[in-house]
């Protein structure tokens, strides 16, 4: 296992479309090692998620896990989830505003609109089917990660660029109001 370098905004790899994997490729030692590295790199960087494209491997893999996350302390817990070839379908027209950040966009956060309930169809790391419904802030995390695999960064989805701020200014001027809104999302959607 190894901690990989994370690509940052401006690196063309982040704008690529990730390639879907066949089951044979997925089960190969190379891809299994990449999955271990993806998870280790996510843990090392305190990410709530990480897509393979962010460690310079444009294949359709992403990891999500939320424990006690110092970057996003208001996020509900999510067990370690590894998604292969994930497809998301919106299940509602209801959206919420998420104040997002990204390991590939250093020291910036911004307000993004996310669908509040989605269906996730994917494989796990062994090619077993995943079919689950994800709601609320957790649905926002899933959308952020799968966006990466389409070459999309959260800054592309920021509606009002005036919401962009450094992490320090977020803490000083945005955090209190946003955490209130995040609690309301969790109350409404259960996560
Ligand atoms: Ni990201």
Measured CA to CA, the distance from residue 145 to residue 47 in angstroms comes to: 11
Cβ count within 10 A of residue 169? 14
CATH of 12-189, one of 3.40.109.10, 3.90.45.10, 1.25.40.80, 1.10.150.530: 3.90.45.10
DSSP 163: G
The Cα 87–Cα 34 span in angstroms is 21
Residue 170 CA, ligand 1 centroid: distance in Å: 17
Going from the Cα of 191 to the center of ligand 1, the distance in angstroms, rounded, reads 19
Please tell me the number of Cα atoms within 13 Å of 16 on its side-chain side: 17
What is the distance in A from the centroid of ligand 1 to the CA of 102? 4
Would you state the pLDDT for residue 126?
98
Active site residue 25: no
Token duo for residue 190: 């259960």
CB 7 within 8 A of CB 104: yes
pLDDT of residue 1: 82
Listed as ranges, residues in the chain with pLDDT below 70 are none
pTM comes to: 0.97
For the four alpha carbons of 63, 67, 68 and 73, in that order, the dihedral sign comes to positive
pLDDT of residue 93: 98
- Cα-to-centroid distance, 131 and ligand 1 (Å): 23
Which pLDDT score is estimated for 103?
A: 98
- Residue of 145, 169, 171, 180 marked active site: 145
């Amino acid at each position: 296992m190894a901690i990989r370098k994370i690509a940052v905004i401006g690196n063309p790899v982040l704008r690529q479309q990730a390639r879907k994997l066949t089951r044979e490729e997925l089960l190969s030692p190379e891809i299994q090692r990449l999955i271990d590295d993806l998870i280790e790199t996510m843990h090392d960087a305190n990410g709530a998620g990480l897509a393979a494209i962010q460690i310079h491997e444009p294949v359709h893999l992403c990891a999500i896990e939320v424990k006690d996350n110092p970057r996003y302390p208001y996020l509900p817990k999510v067990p370690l989830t590894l998604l292969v070839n994930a497809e998301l379908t919106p299940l509602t027209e209801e959206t919420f505003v998420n104040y997002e950040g990204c390991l590939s966009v250093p020291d910036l956060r911004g307000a993004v609109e996310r669908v509040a309930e989605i269906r996730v169809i994917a494989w796990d790391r062994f090619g077993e089917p995943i079919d689950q419904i994800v709601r609320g802030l957790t649905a926002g995390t899933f959308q952020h990660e799968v966006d990466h695999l389409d070459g999309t960064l959260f800054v592309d989805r920021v509606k009002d660029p005036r919401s962009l701020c450094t992490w320090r200014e977020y803490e000083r001027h945005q955090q209190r109001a946003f955490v209130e809104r995040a609690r309301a999302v969790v109350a409404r959607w259960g996560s």
